[in-house]
Structures are given as structure tokens and as C-alpha cells.
């Protein structure tokens, strides 16, 4: 179902240079107290330069050598904020997957007893990872809006179920209800495997992807 899509950027000596699939990460960092959390946020803000590359943070924080050989840090910060809940919120885009090791190293050094929560999505390689308690054992339904493979009756059910909404996160019960509404069956699937096989073998599999959040 999943296809790795690579974009060729230019020909170089010895081969072809490729752009990676970009992984989108949402991060929450919570410190043991307000003072230490604010201090850590100030450090991150100082280390972050205008180009927002994670490598700058790794280098300036001193957790790695200048060649960044230990921690994966290919990527950038697209959002950084300290909110009213006394937590640091960060969005990053990274190559192929999350770069959690660098964040754990930063927290260990500069925010002892801090908590790190994240979600990572890279659809091209089927990466859907999290350690967010509210998402564990849930599924992500990602609609593409393409109903060209559906019959007229299927398209009608699809619209009535509002299955064209771009992204849902749902429990197994909600997912079962959605799929069996779109694909009427005489009896409910016995387990997750049977339910997802029902989806994959239907025309609806061309309209959206379904993934279970993997525990990190």
C-alpha cells in the first residue's frame, strides 16, 4: 500500500542525489517546574538560528561533536513556543523519521526530570509513531479526497459518512463503525486484521489510508 517517493534533485559524481521523505513531528516538552522549563525554552530560542536547522541546536548545545556523527539532526524547526500550560511546543520536519535521540540528550543535559512527548508522521514510508497517552491504541484515518474508483452507490455512502474529511483519529470501535458503514457486511469483522483486510480489498482503500499509531 505504501510507496516510497523519492525526488531527484540533481546528478552528482558517483550517483544521484535524492531528497528524503520528510517526517512531520509534533513535540511537547514539560519540565519539573516553570522556572526550569522557561530556562530551557530560552536556551532553545538562543540556539535556534534564522534557518532553524536542528544541527545548529545540536552543535551550540554541546551534546555532539561538530560533525554531528552521534545524533541524527537532519531537519528544521517550523514552530517553537512556550504556552500558558507551562510546556514547550515544537513542530519539526526531519528526514525519513523523528530525531528523538537529540531531544532526549538535550533534556537529559539541560532539563533533568523533563518529560518528552511526540507524534511523528511520514506517510511515504508508513511512519506513524507516538508516545502520547491519548493516541496510543488509536488509529489515524487520512483521506485523500479521490473518489474516482468508487461506484455511484459507494460514493453516496462515502459522502453521507463524511469520510472525505482529511484526518481523523479514532478508537477501534469508531473505525469499525466507519468501515462497516461504508462497506456493509452480514457480520462484524472478528478482529483488527479482518477489519483492515475488508478495507484494503475494497474500492475505498483508494480514498484514504488507515494506520494504527505505533507505540514508541
pLDDT at 14: 41
pLDDT at 9: 32
Calculate the alpha carbon distances from 9 to 15, 66, 124 in Å: 12, 26, 18
Domain that holds residue 115: 18-130
C-alpha cell, 90: 515544537
Of the candidates 87, 105, 130, which is a domain's last residue? 130
Q: Domain check: are 101 and 187 in the same one? A: no
Of the candidates 73, 107, 130, which is a domain's last residue? 130
pLDDT at 84: 77
**Distance, CA of 103 to CA of 204 (rounded, Å):** 39
In the DSSP assignment, the letter for residue 53 is: B
Of the candidates 130, 153, 176, which is a domain's last residue? 130
Residue 11, CB-side half-sphere exposure with 13 Å CA sphere: 0
pLDDT at 67: 56
Is 3 among the domain residues? Answer: no
For the chain, which ranges sit under pLDDT 70? 1-18, 65-69, 166
Is 9 among the domain residues? Answer: no
**Distance, CA of 189 to CA of 153 (rounded, Å):** 22
Q: Domain check: are 29 and 101 in the same one? A: yes
* Predicted TM-score (pTM) of this structure: 0.81
Helix axes 54-61, 100-110, angle to 10 degrees: 30
Give, for 121, the enclosing helix (H) or strand (E).
strand 115-122
Give residue-wise pLDDT tens across range 63-77: 976 555 688 899 999
Amino acid at each position: 500500500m505504501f510507496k516510497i517517493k523519492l525526488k531527484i534533485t540533481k546528478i552528482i559524481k558517483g550517483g544521484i542525489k535524492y531528497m528524503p521523505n520528510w517526517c512531520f513531528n509534533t513535540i511537547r516538552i514539560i519540565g519539573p517546574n516553570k522556572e526550569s522549563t522557561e530556562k530551557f525554552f530560552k536556551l532553545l530560542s538562543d540556539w535556534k538560528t534564522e534557518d532553524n536547522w536542528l544541527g545548529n541546536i545540536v552543535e551550540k548545545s554541546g551534546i555532539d561533536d561538530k560533525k554531528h556523527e552521534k545524533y541524527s539532526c537532519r531537519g528544521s524547526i517550523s514552530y517553537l513556543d512556550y504556552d500558558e500550560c507551562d510546556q514547550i511546543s515544537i513542530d519539526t520536519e526531519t528526514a525519513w523519521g523523528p530525531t528523538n535521540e537529540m531531544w532526549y540528550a538535550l533534556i537529559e543535559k539541560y532539563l533533568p526530570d523533563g518529560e518528552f512527548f511526540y507524534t511523528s508522521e511520514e506517510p511515504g514510508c508508513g511512519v506513524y509513531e507516538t508516545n502520547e497517552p491519548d493516541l496510543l491504541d488509536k488509529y489515524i484515518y487520512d483521506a485523500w479526497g479521490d473518489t474516482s474508483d468508487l461506484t455511484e452507490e459507494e460514493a453516496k455512502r462515502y459522502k453521507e459518512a463524511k469520510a472525505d474529511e482529511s484526518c481523523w483519529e479514532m478508537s477501534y470501535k469508531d473505525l469499525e463503525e466507519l468501515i462497516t458503514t461504508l462497506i456493509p457486511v452480514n457480520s462484524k469483522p472478528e478482529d483488527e486484521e479482518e477489519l483492515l483486510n475488508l478495507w484494503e480489498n475494497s474500492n475505498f482503500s483508494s480514498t484514504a489510508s488507515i494506520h494504527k499509531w505505533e507505540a514508541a
